[in-house]
Amino acid sequence: MVDRAGGLTSHPRRPAGSTSRTRLTDRRFAALLMLPAGAFLAVFIGWPLLQFVIDGFFKIAPIAGGPREFVGFGNYVRLFQDADFIDAAWRTVLYAVIVVTLEFVLGLAVALLFSALGNASRVFRTVFLYPLMIAPIVAGLLWRFLLIDNFGIVNELFTRVGVLHSSTDIQWLSNPNIALFSVAIPDIWLTTSFITLVLFAGLQNIPGDLIEAARIDGARYSTILFRILLPLLRPVIAVALIVRGIDAARAFDVILIQTNGGPQSSTETLSLLIYRTMVRFGDPGLASAMGTVYLIAMLAVAVAAILSIWRPGSEEKR
Amino acid sequence: MNGLEVRKLSSKTILWIILAAVVVLYGFPFVYMLLTSFKAPIETIAVPPRLLPSEWTVANYVSALSRSGVTASFVNSIVTATLSTAISLTLGLPAAYAVTRFRTRLGRFFIVAALVTRMVPPIVVGVPMLSIFRNLGLSDTSIALAVAHTTISLPLSIWLMSSFFEAVPSELEEAAKIDGCSRLGALWRVVIPVTSGGVAVTAIFAFLASWNEFLFALLLTAVRAQTTPVVIANFQTQFGLDWGSMTALAVVYSVPVILLTLLLQRHIVAGLTLGAVKG
């Protein structure tokens, strides 16, 4: 069975629905199969989303079923004058950039390391997987425990090896100047594996004779990396970075459990600000306006990233 | 293996040493959590911290698991994740099949729409969802939370399964149809069995998405349907900073999924990389 299937894949794919007899019904059949999932997504994402966007135009009392007053773009005017919102927006961008940059550099380095070591590195690749399975809330908690001053092991180890004078020298999570970097650490720890795996898989697909030829021509490793590997990996890198960038910009659990947005709001990203505005301050209208701007920005960035990195027209071949 | 493999023995040794260092660093946080969970409660916050417990004890586990609501939250986590996985596969498999096999315009629109829903921040849909479930009389139930989690896992399932279905030659179904199978029968009897590995991977990812999710669980559950991540987060606010119990509970919650990962690692790698590499 397997052999037969394998043998068949080499045949050119027949265009689907090429027989005119079944064409229309095939299309209907396909629509029918997509209907349940489509309806589900429409009801449980589309509808709440619509409601959320509409809420942004109202001033809403925090109690359930309370009075609503239409204020037009009032909430939007308020939020663009709101320093908290502007700051949180920049922080979200900075956070995503920190996470994605470090993950990409580390992830690529490890992927190249795995490739250089060949098949023998398989066991280590497994070890590299495990943080992906850990709940972000657990990872945040764990790193908070590791980074805490006094009894945190990180500062203790730094002190032992002589980098720090005392174990309270770096206040990872309570110094507002570095807290945003510190809260990003668990996120990086959790998902660098994802970048590594994706890039490693991409590297496996690059034909070996290409690299061989470059080597014979005397190309240095850096030349091979920047002239051959990275350009060929471009689509893979694009997908990995977009996926991770979006996830990082939505980060909530990891930050909430570590600092709850503090100290002095230095780690309050948009997710946390919206949550706080909605649940704690009881201003769902304003929170909805914030969320709408956040959502639109995210979609815009994602579309722009896809278009620029993927290069429309030169669609990647499977 | 391709031309990137290093052949010189000396440089290979150096690379192995670097890799070993990287792996130790990468694995350390979890190992340290594991070690901490076996320390005596008072030793977890000792200054300076020690790597190994001076006395191995399960006191933290006893105190974490005996707390009210902890066992119930485990049951809730399992029920919610299982339900969510079931819904996700039931809806996602036919949809992914339709998208890959029939390649209609609607299908292309559908798969892009599914990708777009992945970008929606949970905080945006969470609160309106709360009122939907209240109107349905489902507030604070595992079903409601499972449905919410499916909004995360369903787009992912559709994308993953599309890649797996892509690899199935359409001749296989043609043959099934000639043998008298209906189209639905061909999907159920031929295509799904052939891609059972892919279905398993998709199921694992759907399960994990629910198992590890926090924000929806925080917003949509109060007492009855609370899952363990929310309980872990509550440890710090309600009982002061009880690090010992927190690490113990975190270990209990994480170890099953880590073991699952190690067991099924080859499949999981395939699932993680398929979508991105094949595009």
Domains of chain A and CATH, by start:
40-310 (1.10.3720.10)
pLDDT tens digits, A149-168? 778 888 888 888 888 887 77
> Please, are residues A117 and B16 in contact by the beta-carbon 8 Å criterion?
yes
pLDDT tens digits, A171-204? 888 888 899 999 999 999 998 988 998 888 888 8
**Averaged pLDDT, A241-247:** 86
**Averaged pLDDT, B86-99:** 94
Provide the pLDDT for residue A137.
92
CB contact under 8 Å between A130 and B30, yes or no, is yes
What is the predicted ipTM? 0.86
Structure tokens at B137: 């009389």
Domains of chain B and CATH, by start:
9-62 (no CATH), 68-238 (1.10.3720.10)
Residue A192 vs residue B240, higher pLDDT? A192
Say how many CA atoms lie within 13 Å of B103 toward its Cβ.
10
Provide the pLDDT for residue B159.
84
Nearest to A295 among B18, B124, B211 (CB): B124
Residue A212 vs residue A37, higher pLDDT? A37
| CA–CA separation, A137 and A256 (whole Å) | 8
B223 touches chain A (CB under 8 A): no
Provide the pLDDT for residue B218.
92
**Averaged pLDDT, B28-38:** 91
Which residues of chain A are within 8 Å of residue B267 when distances are taken between CB atoms?
Answer: none
Which residues of chain A are within 8 Å of residue B172 when distances are taken between CB atoms?
Answer: 5, 8
CA distance B194 to chain A (A): 9
pLDDT tens digits, A77-114? 988 998 899 999 999 999 999 999 999 999 999 999 99
**Averaged pLDDT, A67-78:** 86
CB contact under 8 Å between B3 and A209, yes or no, is yes
Q: Is the predicted pLDDT of residue B11 greater than 90, yes or no?
A: no
CA distance B214 to chain A (A): 6
pLDDT-derived band at A8 (thresholds 50, 70, 90) equals very low
> Please, are residues A151 and B47 in contact by the beta-carbon 8 Å criterion?
yes
**Averaged pLDDT, A282-296:** 90
Closest residue of chain A to B6, computed from CA coordinates:
A116
pLDDT-derived band at A24 (thresholds 50, 70, 90) equals low
CB contact under 8 Å between B32 and A204, yes or no, is no
Nearest to A253 among B15, B45, B215 (CB): B215
Provide the pLDDT for residue A172.
87
Instruction: Classify residue A66 by its DSSP letter.
Output: -
CB contact under 8 Å between A44 and B158, yes or no, is no
Mean confidence (pLDDT) of chain A: 83
> Which contacts of B26-32 are long-range, i.e. CB under 8 A and separated by 24 or more positions?
B26/A127, B26/A128, B26/A131, B26/A189, B27/A127, B27/A130, B29/A142, B29/A143, B29/A146, B29/A189, B30/A130, B30/A131, B30/A134, B30/A142, B30/B254, B30/B258, B32/A146, B32/A153
Provide the pLDDT for residue A25.
77
Structure tokens at A117: 């070591």
Strands (E), chain A: 58-60, 68-70
Provide the pLDDT for residue B100.
87
β-partners of residue A69 are A59
| CA–CA separation, B111 and B93 (whole Å) | 13
Nearest to B233 among A64, A124, A137 (CB): A137
